[in-house]
Structure 1
Amino acid sequence: MSTIRILVVDDHPVVRDGIIGMVSSDPEVEVVGEAGDGAEAVRLARVLEPDVVLMDLRMPGTDGVAAIREFARLGIPARVVVLTTYDGDADVLPAIEAGATGYLLKDAPRDDLLRAIRAAAAGEAVLAPSVASRLVNRVRTPESSALTSRELEVLALVADGATNRAAGQRLHLSEATVKTHLLSIYAKLGVGDRAAAVAEGFRRGLLGG
């Protein structure tokens, strides 16, 4: 089984060391590099071609959101999981809009972090519970709290075990568009991952069976 190549980005060396220590003990994870700011992260990502980037948000110079936008502009395929101490709207929403695949807080347990890394490598989105709550508060209006017909289609396919890519092929959507729908589904249902979304979908009667 191939390993998941990780780039760790944080402006504090001690924090980088701690993150590397947490993830590198997993045989499925290989830390291929570390960066102290967003600009260095972009340079290294182009050279090292990591599968997943663990990205801090608030850094001197080029911050995390700017780096995520630059990844998208340059077509860097690495999935970005934000790993930060901040879960306020001003941090969460720009990061997700810029293209982050996941958003975790630095106090997340090791198992949650590794689960997020694996999910991101597979193209899935993962949100910390507090982040999901933030997003659901942003969309909780009578008009927008209900899932759209397209979101219901995506949720049904996920419940059937479809990957993002397979769901996109079925619905004639790009994989990125499917991920955007999933993030909206997570926010509206107040959940943080695919399994919880499916469970909540069944609980609310949105899914048959």
Structure 2
Amino acid sequence: MSSTPLRSRPVRVLLVEDHDMVAEAICLALERSPDLQVVGRSGSVASALVDTRRYEPDVVLMDRRLPDGDGVSAIADLLALAPNVRVLVLAGEGSASVAARIAETGGAGLILKARGLSELEDAVRKVAAGEVVFSQDLLGDVLGRLTGRVPGLGANLTPREREALHLLGEGLSTAELSGLLGVALNTGRNHVQRVLEKLGARSQLEAVTIARREGLLR
């Protein structure tokens, strides 16, 4: 049984999710509970901003990856529009660095799509009641990173290595990357190799995948 306090009216939820089947399943799950009310559904960051002003939700349940941007990056704009709204991020996978970004920007929590719908309902109730929701396996790292005790993965990348990583994220080859950075091919290869080593990746593709997961690339 949830320990969140009773409310005099249902929690008003704005769902921001661009996949129809996922959105429909979430809406059905939330609306079967009398204490939860889906007041609107948005499919992009831009429409979420408009609909937050329009519907005045208590909770914005925001997918992390949307057609026009990153849901985590949108938290600050949502809070600027509605300072009292609680933003709960919904993601396919989570990491401590992404969770820390959510907390740092004022988000109320992170819940994974793999979790059950009943757990999602409970998370919405908790953030509406003022709680912060992160899974236990992420919470320790989140607190550590917020207090500076635990450096995030990729925190030791140099500015040049970060440039190389971003170019890898755009799908460029080592030769193309070297040309844009204005360095010799061997130097470009060295930058890429150090990026792989610092991210613990065995290939450029794996490095980009890790970087996206950790919030180093958007």
TM-score by length of 1: 0.62
**Structure 2 matches for 1:79-158, cutoff 5 A?**
79-135=86-142, 138=145, 144=149
Counterpart AA for 1:135: V
Counterpart AA for 1:3: P
Structure 2: which 5+ runs fail to align? 1-7, 151-218
**Structure 2 matches for 1:23-38, cutoff 5 A?**
23-38=30-45
Deviation >6 Å, runs of 4+? none
Q: Which stretch of the first structure deviates more once superposed, 29-38 or 62-71?
A: 62-71
Per-residue deviation at 1:136? 5.5
Q: Which stretch of the first structure deviates more once superposed, 86-95 or 10-19?
A: 86-95
Higher share of residues assigned helix? 1
**Structure 2 matches for 1:50-89, cutoff 5 A?**
50-89=57-96
- Cα distance in structure 2, aligned partners of 1:47 and 1:17: 21
1:43 matches 2:50:
yes
Tell which structure's C-alpha radius of gyration is larger. 2
Secondary structure at 1:127 match in 2: coil
In structure 2, the partner of 1:17 is 24
Render the CA deviation track for 1:126-185: whole Å, top value 9, x for unaligned. 1123332542664799xx49xxxxxxxxxxxxxxxxxxxxxxxxxxxxxxxxxxxxxxxx
Give the conservation status (yes or no) of the 8 Å contact 1:41–1:67. no
Secondary structure at 1:104 match in 2: strand
For the structure 1 residues 75 and 28, does the alpha-carbon distance in structure 2 shift closer, same or farther, using more than 3 Å as the test?
Answer: closer
1:5 matches 2:7:
no
Per-residue deviation at 1:74? 2.6
For the structure 1 residues 99 and 137, does the alpha-carbon distance in structure 2 shift closer, same or farther, using more than 3 Å as the test?
Answer: closer
Give the conservation status (yes or no) of the 8 Å contact 1:10–1:56. yes
- Cα distance in structure 2, aligned partners of 1:13 and 1:90: 28
Structure 1: which 5+ runs fail to align? 146-209
Per-residue deviation at 1:84? 0.9
TM-score by length of 2: 0.59
Counterpart AA for 2:77: E
For the structure 1 residues 64 and 17, does the alpha-carbon distance in structure 2 shift closer, same or farther, using more than 3 Å as the test?
Answer: same
Counterpart AA for 1:42: L
Q: CA RMSD in A?
A: 2.2
- Cα distance in structure 2, aligned partners of 1:139 and 1:35: 30
- Cα distance in structure 2, aligned partners of 1:114 and 1:78: 17
**Structure 2 matches for 1:175-190, cutoff 5 A?**
none
For the structure 1 residues 34 and 87, does the alpha-carbon distance in structure 2 shift closer, same or farther, using more than 3 Å as the test?
Answer: same
Secondary structure at 1:96 match in 2: helix
**Taking every aligned residue pair, what percent have the same amino acid on both sides?**
34
Per-residue deviation at 1:50? 0.5
